Structure 1
């Protein structure tokens, strides 16, 4: 099994090989692309598909909420590798911090 850090490197290398980094990409555009993947996940629900439903188009493309959420993670990993962010260590550090936060910190409804 690959570590998050190893997977991050593989994902970024694939993005380079596929031509997505032939020129520098604006950070705001990269974030907007993450948003678009989340919107695509929401659209799957709006179309009536189940949250855990995966299916394939006629061309063989994997689609559904799980696939769109995977696309979000792939985009985030690609961004992190490009900018030299160790996502794995940051996730672990943030998780440790979150474990000590107060119950429903921030007192927000959602």
Structure 2
């Protein structure tokens, strides 16, 4: 990833976090450290709903449920004040994953 691409990705991630946070907060949804476990389970629920869409071969619904999971994750990150570090963490993890061996040395999945 070039520096220019990394800077653009960093900006985009931060904007997605900000927009997700602003929209959720405006609708009365707020996350703090104490409510984080419940909010994490809501993210799991969105992923479960994506699984149901996949099982029924509903590709459009599958994408919508994955989008819901991302939006909830971005909202959580924003409300916990982790926007700056999360954008960096994601980009650093992507860079690290490029150096890992095929299937990370595992045989399955």
Superposed pair shares fold, TM > 0.5: yes
Question: Where is the helix percentage greater, Structure 1 or Structure 2?
Answer: 2
The question of 1:71 aligning with 2:80 is answered: no
1:83 and 2:92 matched? no
SS of equivalent to 1:84 = coil
- Gaps of at least 5 residues in structure 2 are 1-7
Aligned twin of 2:100:
101
Counterparts of 1:13-52 in structure 2 under 5 Å?
13-21=22-30, 24=32, 26-49=35-58
5 Å-filtered alignment, 1:1-16, equals: 3-16=12-25
Measured on the aligned residues, the alpha-carbon RMSD in Å equals: 2.0
Structure-1 separation of matches of 2:48 and 2:38? 15
Structure 1 unmatched ranges of 5 or more = 55-63
1:94 is paired with a residue whose SS is helix
Distance change in 2, residues 1:108/1:35 (3 Å): farther
Q: Residue 108 of structure 1: CA displacement?
A: 4.9
1:46, distance to aligned residue in structure 2 (A): 2.3
Q: Which has the higher contact order (CA 8 A, sep 6+)?
A: 2
Distance in 1, matches of 2:53 and 2:14, equals 29
How big is the shift at 1:45?
2.1
